[in-house]
Amino acid sequence: MMAVKFEDKSKRRKDDAINLLILLFIASLLGVYLIATTVLIAKDGVYYIERAQKLSSDPVGIIKGHPPGYPFLIFIAHKFVTLFTDNSSVFIWIYTAQSVTLLCRLIALIVLYFIGKFLVGSKRSFWAILILIILPYPAEFGSDALRDWPHILFLAAGFLLLLWGAKQGKWWMFGIAGMAAGLGFIIRPECVQLVVYGILWLLVRLVKPKSKMSRPKLLCALFILLIGFAFPLAPYVGVAGRMIPPKLGGIFAKEHVADSHNYINTIVSLFGNITKAIGKLIEDISDNLMYFFVPALVIGIYSHFHKQSMATDIERFFVPVFIVLNVIIMILLYCSYEYIERRHCLPLVTCSIFYVPIGLQILADWLSSRFSKGRSGNKPKPQLWFFILVAVGVGICLPKLLRPLRIEKQGYMYAAKWLLENTAREDIVAVPDMRIYFYAERDGFKYESEKEAARARYFVRIVESEDEELSLGRATQEEHSLWLDKRKKKHRLVIYKVM
């Protein structure tokens, strides 16, 4: 009997290893392709790289600014790269930042696979991660100079440890989950949510004992969770002098003050903002799922949690709490800053992706029962229809997935190359987008008006029509054959020299 169990366990480990090798191979191939074909990194990527470049000269200033976790990872990776090359050009920094993000994505996919295995089984987890890999926007975020996938890595690792700790009754896992939350907090403060989940679960179990851990062990787990969170965070808070970054603090500090005359208007405005936030959140999640996988997601979640036998008590607690809290975070973000981006929804997408294969299988069963016919009459072929649905989804994703990152902004690179080759190192350039002077390796600034641009030696201007005149008279046109495809309209990039 023991031999049979050992063989089953060995087989499961072998299957997991094969599944992960397949998934990592595909993700690596796509990730390297996206890095190699990237035309322009994200604006935030420039900010993170510039902070990484300043870490050695002004570490305290960088730490006091915003969470330094991702710039620190770039800095360490760049130090490693310079062991093999003396070249420290801007492209070395860019490729280093992109490689750090890709590596974090690959490790995060391993963690997510085991989360999926815990929630829906290894087979469904494999298909879920495969679908996540071929989704264009999450893939692009994983090959750009952005901190979203490093954040997901620590968020997913801590979440998995909480699930394992809750299931196996091992109190020390809560401590490691707290450490993951603390390390992730230094990348993105939203990682503090792991501590919230752990505290809520342990308090519920203290009030309603239904756990493998006794009350003393539950209290010990709660204590070590907080200690684990504080351990990596204490040095950061000590240097920064605060725990909450300015932007996150703005979310909680913003108050909607209302007197007796405008109280109703304030309530209506707040309700309107919440409605808009939810609508924008649904739109961005749908974009991430390329709309095709949205029906499968809805059906899968409903089916899985509707059937009592499918979802465990642990899953019924952690998954809804995760979704609700992240939705609240997105609403607060929108109400405070009036924007939500697709990458902000990545935690919600990665958490819910495991239920997409369930929905696809239900749709496949439905299609099979109505359209599949064999030689001897009706022969349902649900597995064939499942593969067809996945293949259709892959077909929808591939054109967007294989399109080079920001190919529509090729003109920015042309302008940067011209400035690099035709201007002096000390020349100041004014640009409509900071990435132009960053790639040109020149000091510069982003201008709002042509009068402001006159402070620079060169400035780049977007011309929307041939008869558009330059209001600044003391400038000569240096280059005018640079094209920028902006929102499917042709705009011209013109470089001027201030006389």
Tens of pLDDT, residue by residue over 255-281, are 444 444 566 666 777 777 888 999 999
Position 3 confidence tier, pLDDT thresholds 50, 70, 90: low
Point out which residues pair with 311 in neighbouring strands: none
CA–CA separation, 379 vs 57, rounded Å? 70
What ranges do the domains of the chain cover?
15-364, 409-498
- pLDDT band, residue 20 (cuts 50/70/90): very high
pLDDT tens, residue by residue, 39-72: 999 999 999 999 999 998 888 888 888 889 999 9
Element housing 283 (H / E): helix 263-288
Q: Dump pLDDT digits (tens) for 166-201.
A: 998 889 999 999 999 999 999 999 999 999 999 999
- Look up the CATH number of domain 409-498: 3.40.190
Helix, strand or coil, per DSSP, at residue 479: strand
User: In whole angstroms, what is the distance from residue 100 CA to residue 102 CA?
Assistant: 5
Residue range 394-414: mean pLDDT, rounded: 92
Residue 52 has which token pair? 């990484």
Residue whose pair of structure tokens reads 């342990």 in the numeric block: 202
Q: What is the pLDDT of residues 82-137, one digit of tens each?
A: 888 877 789 999 999 999 999 999 999 999 999 999 999 999 999 999 999 999 99
10 Å Cβ neighbour count for 112? 26
Sort residue 403 into left (φ over 0), alpha (ψ -120 to 50) or beta.
Answer: beta
Residue-wise pLDDT tens digits, 347-379: 999 999 999 999 999 999 999 888 765 544 556
What pLDDT score was predicted for residue 379? Answer: 65
Q: How many CB atoms lie within 10 A of CB 254?
A: 11
297, pLDDT greater than 60: yes
Kindly indicate the confidence band of residue 388, based on its pLDDT and cuts at 50, 70 and 90: very high
- C-beta atoms surrounding 235 within 10 Å: 11
DSSP 45: H
| pTM of the predicted structure, to 2 decimals | 0.90
